[in-house]
Structure 1
Amino acid sequence: MQIEDSVRTDDGASTTDAGPAVPERYDFGRPAALSREHTRALAGAFDAFARLWAMQLTSKARLRSHITVERVTLETYDEYVSTVPATTTLVLCSDEDADARAIIEFPVSTALLWIVKMLGGDSARPLEARSLTPIEFALLRALMDETLGHLRGSLGGLLSERLAVTAVQYNAAFAQIVSAQELVVVARFSMRLADHTESASIALPAAVLLERLTDTTSAPHAAPDPDVVRHHVEEAPVELTLRLASRPMLPGEVLDLAVGDVLTLPHGEDRPLELAIGDHVVAAAAVGANGARLACVITSSDLSRSLVEETP
């Protein structure tokens, strides 16, 4: 099959450049996108993390925060580096005993704003970007240790429990958690902090993450134990109500009620009361006493149809 491209020259003539279409090779070992199942699972996990991160920033940095997941993609590390700002905060996380790494990225000015707010400052706007001092790095590291804990909790067993914050870089090209052509799972976030919006991202090496995710999603789900289900149902507390037969009334009648009014109820004197859970009648009972307290005596636990359907 050939594709023809027509080009019109200045004198109005049309020339045709025909050439064979070149097929693009597909590497099945390195898919171009996440599967739908993986995307759904990761989006849900990162969404849970975004809510926890927003609550953390609101409480720790005293800054009203709202964070949402924009998208979750599969990219090479080179592609990821090309999308982040030339100067930004890259919190590097690693596990000394395993080849597990991660990057949490956000603007340097935003990091400085968090630090100022944690120290009691009243600034509500991002500050001019600069390198962090040792004290500022210590404060940011303490904050990001907690953030990393939220990330581990949200992703479950997909991240190493020993993953910890190790350093801060300001250029993604120098961070290099994987080689340039290796795949990373990238989650991009929109951060609304007070009255302005910033962008943030998280990059995780795809090889181990997707392998663990596949094992998790493909693991057979254990069938529920009927005895355990029955035990939980039997142990669940319920509220019992002893009641008379109900009487329908118009809203106007209810609004006109006053002290001393007498309401007739469609319940015979010799008719037992209804013992109900919610709207479901489970037994019939008569009023009794137990010492100084009112009580009820069960007269029937299997109400007859004629009694349930009885009308006054």
Structure 2
Amino acid sequence: MQTVRTESLARTEDAAAAEPVRYDFGRPAALSREHTRALAGAFDAFARQWAMQLAAKARVRAHIALERVSLETYDEYVATLPTTTTLVLCSDASSDDRAIIEFPLPSALSWIVKMLGGGGSLLPEPRALTAIEQALVRSLMDETLAHLRTALGSLLPRELTVGAVQYNAAFAQVVGAQDLVVVARFSLRLADRTETATIALPAAPLLERLSHSASTPRAAADPALVRRHVEETPVELTLRLTPRAVLPGDVLDLAVGDVISLAHAADRPLDLAVDDQVVAAAAVGAAGARLACVVTASDLSRSLSEESP
């Protein structure tokens, strides 16, 4: 009897597992591979810059590495954070874009001590930051945000600025509880301890900019466009004789009527040069009342044609 009941329960579980799961296209379950790769590269570059900034400003040995980039609801993100932590809120006055830079509160207090010249190795007890301490943290985060803006480029609004400092993500509520955020998690190895930091960005505007930038062809990837730009750039064309080296004393002794012999043979064409680079040979001619030159030899056009795809 027990065996029959066990088999029946197993069949029920298999049937439940086999049922299709609804997929909400308005709320994708994960980032696409292309988006994940692009964001991971940008956040990885930011991590290196952030580590150098902390080493210079907070006088602490720092190694920061990106752990992962994920797509989560704001509630899911808040659930992964400590009850009390440092939340630096960033906002853009011209749009609804928001961002959070989060790191442990004891680490923030430790950075402040280091920035003020202290050398304590023990982590301070967590507490709310004073007005002066908040100003120091915001000043530090101004540079951090600049590094983030450099790494993400057009994905981050240029007007995004550092704002208030809070200690509980549930009260911060930069977006709705069920709104999606892109979360980058970092491991911070500071001196002899390892901490965790996060950056959260609203997913909708970020992914829209990411899709737009991915679909826009890069100018550098179009050889024909590069060639056209080169061909339309003005250059200075010079018709010249073969140069001759002389001593400074010969130049200083020059007087009216002196004759200088040149190394250029009388029957040899002149050099046509662009920026000291000889591109053709030419003879002196005329075009109406103006002097002109007649190109007598040039291998440049043929060599460029052979290089063209």
User: What secondary structure, in the 3-state scheme, does the structure 2 residue paired with 1:59 have?
Assistant: helix
Q: 1:160 aligns with which of 152, 157, 160?
A: 157
Match of 1:182 in 2: 179
Determine the C-alpha separation between the residues in 1 that align with 2:218 and 2:156.
21
Match of 1:105 in 2: 102
> What letter corresponds to residue 80 of structure 2 in structure 1?
T
The answer to whether the aligner puts 1:141 opposite 2:129 as a matched pair is: no
State the shift of 1:56 in Å. 0.6
- TM-score relative to the length of structure 1: 0.69
Q: 1:206 aligns with which of 186, 200, 203?
A: 203
Q: 2:90 aligns with which of 64, 88, 93?
A: 93
> What letter corresponds to residue 171 of structure 1 in structure 2?
N
State the shift of 1:195 in Å. 1.2
User: What secondary structure, in the 3-state scheme, does the structure 2 residue paired with 1:225 have?
Assistant: helix
The answer to whether the aligner puts 1:193 opposite 2:201 as a matched pair is: no
State the shift of 1:289 in Å. 8.2
Could you give the per-residue CA deviations for residues 172-207 of structure 1, whole angstroms, max 9, x where no partner exists? 101111111110000000011111111000000000
Match of 2:128 in 1: 131
Could you give the per-residue CA deviations for residues 198-240 of structure 1, whole angstroms, max 9, x where no partner exists? 10000000000000000001012232421556899x9xxxxxx
Could you give the per-residue CA deviations for residues 239-287 of structure 1, whole angstroms, max 9, x where no partner exists? xxxxxxxxxxxxxxxxxxxxxxxxxxxxxxxxxxxxxxxxxxxxxxxxx
Could you give the per-residue CA deviations for residues 62-105 of structure 1, whole angstroms, max 9, x where no partner exists? 11111010000001111101111111111111112210100000
Normalized per residue, the structure richer in helix is: 2
Determine the C-alpha separation between the residues in 1 that align with 2:83 and 2:193.
21
User: What secondary structure, in the 3-state scheme, does the structure 1 residue paired with 2:125 have?
Assistant: coil
User: What secondary structure, in the 3-state scheme, does the structure 2 residue paired with 1:69 have?
Assistant: strand
Match of 1:79 in 2: 76
Segments of 5+ residues of structure 1 without an aligned counterpart are 1-7, 235-287, 298-312
> What letter corresponds to residue 214 of structure 2 in structure 1?
T
Match of 1:225 in 2: 226
Normalized per residue, the structure richer in strand is: 1
The answer to whether the aligner puts 1:24 opposite 2:21 as a matched pair is: yes
> What letter corresponds to residue 156 of structure 2 in structure 1?
L
> What letter corresponds to residue 15 of structure 1 in structure 2?
T
Determine the C-alpha separation between the residues in 2 that align with 1:147 and 1:125.
24
Could you give the per-residue CA deviations for residues 132-155 of structure 1, whole angstroms, max 9, x where no partner exists? 011101111110111111111111
Q: 1:42 aligns with which of 39, 43, 66?
A: 39
Determine the C-alpha separation between the residues in 2 that align with 1:173 and 1:49.
26
State the shift of 1:28 in Å. 1.3
State the shift of 1:15 in Å. 2.6
Match of 1:15 in 2: 6
> What letter corresponds to residue 81 of structure 1 in structure 2?
V
Alignment RMSD: 2.8
State the shift of 1:126 in Å. 2.4
User: What secondary structure, in the 3-state scheme, does the structure 1 residue paired with 2:38 have?
Assistant: helix
The answer to whether the aligner puts 1:216 opposite 2:234 as a matched pair is: no
User: CA 1:95–1:289 in 2, change beyond 3 Å: closer, same or farther?
Assistant: closer
State the shift of 1:106 in Å. 0.4
Could you give the per-residue CA deviations for residues 113-164 of structure 1, whole angstroms, max 9, x where no partner exists? 0000000000234221111011101111110111111111111011111111
> What letter corresponds to residue 103 of structure 1 in structure 2?
I
Determine the C-alpha separation between the residues in 2 that align with 1:231 and 1:190.
50
Q: Give the % identical residues.
A: 65
Determine the C-alpha separation between the residues in 2 that align with 1:162 and 1:27.
32
User: CA 1:231–1:29 in 2, change beyond 3 Å: closer, same or farther?
Assistant: same
Determine the C-alpha separation between the residues in 2 that align with 1:112 and 1:229.
54
Segments of 5+ residues of structure 2 without an aligned counterpart are 236-243, 249-262, 264-309
Determine the C-alpha separation between the residues in 2 that align with 1:210 and 1:123.
42
Pairs aligned (count) = 235
User: What secondary structure, in the 3-state scheme, does the structure 1 residue paired with 2:136 have?
Assistant: helix
